[in-house]
Amino acid sequence: MKKKILLLSLLFIVFVVWWTPAKLVEGFIPANGQVTVGSLSGSAFSGSVSHIEYQNWYLESIDYQLSFLSLLSGSLGGDSQINKGDIQGQLTFYLSDEKNAEISNANLKTSASNLASYMPFPGVSVNGELSTEDFSVRLAEGKPDSLFGATSWKNGSVTVNGKMIELGSFDIDWTTEQEDQSITGVLRNSTKNSLDLQGRIKLNRQGQLEFTGSISNRIDQSIYTPLSLFASGKASNGRLPIKFKKKVY
């Protein structure tokens, strides 16, 4: 009898929480100077957010469907559809805390111009469309732990001091190696770009990012000259080998 009462009580709590209007939980969203969350509609577990603003990013008309099972484990997870704003598309998310999270089945797109504030060089801007396809990434203690899927830069171009340089398109297939758990990205050879860029990216567990590849030595000299600074050997068979490393965390 006690078990039945406990089960019925649990079902009643689930029912009440599931149908709780989303507006009633707005007051529980922590105030954060970096993130602004707009009005909520629907229920606490299935509804929409008018907008979310984070630094220079603005997302609008966001539908969500939370997972009750993830809440039972003390986490926040579910599916989301971003309909308007600087990023559009759908994804599945799982958040344990600020430093541990997972995004999967992400099919998103954004304009490369949205990265303007992240460019390390003054007078340089990028254009084109960035997108992901069946993209999954897991963060552990704030660092990438695994990564799968594909990322693309379509109709890419770079503007340097007012001069636009057309680059074409780049597609990268990502995977996580089982042996050393390093993350590897391989440029698709079928992708057409003016650099004729080929190669791979590797991010090891210590946060060392390395690119090894080559470019055509017949490309525009305004691009070839700065890239030749990363040459790892002499040009041969119409190609210049390049390599660079950078500690990212």
- The pLDDT tens digits of the residues spanning 187-215 come to 998 778 888 999 999 999 999 999 999 99
Task: Please state, in angstroms and as integers, the Cα–Cα distance from residue 134 to each residue in 78, 169, 172, 188, following that order.
Answer: 16, 19, 12, 16
CA distances from 230 to 113, 151, 221 (A): 26, 24, 15
The model's pTM: 0.84
Closest CA to 153 of 176, 136, 187, 128: 128
**Worst-scoring range by mean pLDDT, 3-12, 17-26, 115-124?**
3-12
